[in-house]
Structure 1
Amino acid sequence: MPTDRPQPVFVLVRPQMGENIGAAARAMWNFGIDRMRIVAPRDGWPNPKAVAMASGAGRLLDEARVFETTAEAVEDCTYVYATTGRHRGLTKPVASPEQAMGDTAERIGSGGRVAVLFGPERAGLENDDIARANAILSVPVNPDFPSLNLAQCALLTAYEWRRATETITAHTVEMAGSDWATGQEMEKLAEHYEDRLDTAGFFFPPTKADTMKLNLRNLWSRMPLTRADVQMLHGVMRQMVRWKERGE
């Protein structure tokens, strides 16, 4: 059974290749969408090539609903987006995937049922399909090469749905089992290097020593070091000192 999470329905209109249906299923499930409807698939249904391409998302194909016409596929929906990049001579609101999925989230949150139509690979949706939609979803692609295959378009739309409905962490750091170094640990590291470099005569001439030490402190403060990093840098300096002493 499909999950009980509120979400849009992805309607594949007259898809031509089973592989593309399977790839679209994978793209949908990557971002948590599992409601697929298929209108008049060219090679019939079920399609073993779709199952092979879907890989771990085969459940979506098992639960996909098949319809003869686009009208039947969206008859229970309160709002429909049609994905197309071409001007069809029809007056329709046109939204980016980001805006369309934000709007979809609001409509579904208010109890609506939203469908997104995806056209066949070769020519896309026909005017008769688009006329049944309330608005157009248009991906801002390169105008010199605007063609997107079925799975690509499903992936972009599903990704924007995920962004509109989930808390996305924009940036994080994998700490690999360590913690950030504390101010005290950074201070000890700075003192260690300053002391050893002073002994080695690095801060020369004496008139520039204070500025050089200040710059070195500033360098440490700009470096986001972990405790493991600090321990390693202490070890580097200790080994260099031992190597110097052995050579004397």
Structure 2
Amino acid sequence: MLQNVRVVLFSPKYPENIGSVARACLNMGVDDLVVVAPRNFDMEKALPLATAHARHILETARITDTLAEAVEGCTAVYGTTARTGGWRKGIMSPETLAGVVDERIGSGGNVAIVFGPEDKGLTNEETSICSGLMTIPTSREGTSLNLAQAVVVVLYECFKKALASPYTPDGPPEERPTTVQEQEALFGNLQETLLAIDFLKDDNPDYWMLPVRRFFSKINLKRNEFNLLMGVCRQVQWFVKRYGPK
């Protein structure tokens, strides 16, 4: 049901939580689990929490050194956060995220949902690779959720949405969606181009690129559109170099 969804755990602290997340993945039909730079990982401690039923998900989970490796091949990445404001704008609820994920899957994409460390969550640098952010509303008396609890809440909403609107291919295949790596290449090229025409200022251009990133996160950018925009950037940069200020 959620075969095109990948759960990514970024630097989890406790092996027991990884095991519990594997079980949550099994419950909601996700078999793609990736763990980035786990601390104190111990398979023997994780297995009992996964139970015998989700043992295969835990044992086949990939372990990577970086978040970029973990989301390789995905067409969209969504991060979870308990913090808002500043760089973190347009934050979705789990239900809203489920609709976005369902749309991306329906167009043939592969989606990664990233969960940060239990003790500090994802940093601004880590969320910069995300197409969007999501938070789980809680009461003020208890704003912290266990990692596996957070995973099962988010995946449940995605699973429920998938049940309501199962994907059925219709007509010829569309141009494939761009991967996260291609999107990052485009953002780098766009930033260089916008700096060249003085649309972005030299002071903290990464911050001023955030609205551009948020705009593109709303678009399920296809490979042919990626090629078009990369071509536009190349032509603008060529023009500026040839005819710009000496």
User: TM-score, normalising length from structure 1?
Assistant: 0.62
Contact 2:11/2:117, CA 8 A, preserved across alignment: yes
Give the Cα–Cα distance (whole angstroms) in 2 for the partners of residues 49 and 15 of structure 1: 14
AA aligned opposite 1:53: L
Q: CA deviation at 1:5?
A: 5.6
Give the aligned CA root-mean-square deviation in angstroms: 1.8
User: Could you tell me which of 97, 109, 112 is aligned with 2:109?
Assistant: 112
Identical counterparts, % of pairs: 41
How far apart in 1 are the matches of 2:22 and 2:3? 17
Q: TM-score, normalised to structure 2's length?
A: 0.63
CA distance in 2, matches of 1:70, 1:124: 14
From the superposition, tell whether residues 118 and 91 of structure 1 become closer, same or farther in structure 2 (CA, over 3 Å). closer
Structure whose alpha-carbon radius of gyration is higher: 1
CA contact (8 A) 1:88 1:127 kept: no
Q: Could you say which residue in structure 2 is the equivalent of 1:161? A: 158
- The 5 Å alignment of 1:56-95 reads 56-87=53-84, 89-95=86-92
Structure 1 portions without partners, runs of 5+: 169-248
> Stretches of 4+ moved more than 6 A in 1?
none
- Distance change >3 Å, CA 88–CA 70, structure 1 → 2: farther
CA distance in 1, matches of 2:119, 2:85: 16
Runs of 5+ unmatched residues, structure 2: 166-246
- 1:28-177 paired onto structure 2 within 5 Å: 28-44=25-41, 47-55=43-51, 56-87=53-84, 89-167=86-164
Native 8 Å contact 1:83 1:138 kept in 2: yes
CA distance in 1, matches of 2:154, 2:136: 9
Return the alpha-carbon distance in structure 1 between the equivalents of residues 85 and 79 of structure 2. Answer: 12
Give the letter for the 1:70 counterpart.
L
